Amino acid sequence: MATVHHFQVTNQQGEKVALGQYRDKVLLIVNTASQCGFTPQYQDLESIYKKYHAKGLEILAFPCNQFGGQEPGSDSEIAQFCELNYGVSFPIMKKVQVNGPEAEPFFEFLKDQARGLLKTRAIKWNFTKFLVNKDGVVVKRYAPRTKPSQFIDAIEAELALLPQNQGR
């Protein structure tokens, strides 16, 4: 069975990143944009990342300009914006497309694994979030309006299953 761990993505420096390196980690995958009404979720994401990173949480942001042209900047401009405005310290990947014929294969996989509202496959807007367990299986898809702090219980439940967190 294919999992998230079978994919490679590209970081902002143009280097391939094997997602297999995140085995035994909980992942939160988010398609992001700097000029979106949901952009303040970066603050929520960073707060969660700081609190749970040492316990095994990784957040991977994938900027996308497909929704209202809300991510027009270059990869370096996006990184600078995120750092200056939200203190983002989690990885921000190369800008991608999440829908259509040029969609990143990784997002095609995520959409197949977790459907949206009314079982739709397409990502409807920026800040759609995918929670992935330690085995690389997509656990749940969250809508753009759903703030990461609203599903902390689900994140904590997945983190509790990590070997280093059991028995605590």
Strands 16-18 and 57-63: unpaired
User: Residues 19, 29, 36, 138: which is the catalytic one?
Assistant: 36
Backbone angles phi, psi at 37, to 5 degrees: -60, -20
- Residue 20 in 3-state DSSP? helix
User: Dihedral angle at the C-alpha atoms of 62, 133, 137, 117, nearest 10 degrees?
Assistant: -60
Annotated catalytic residue 36: yes
Task: Give the C-alpha separation, 89 to 63, whole Å.
Answer: 15
Spell out the SS3 assignment of 39-108.
CCHHHHHHHHHHHHHHHCEEEEEEEECCCCCCCCCCHHHHHHHHHHHHCCCCCEECCECCCCCCCCHHHH
Q: Where in the sequence numbering do the catalytic residues fall?
A: 36
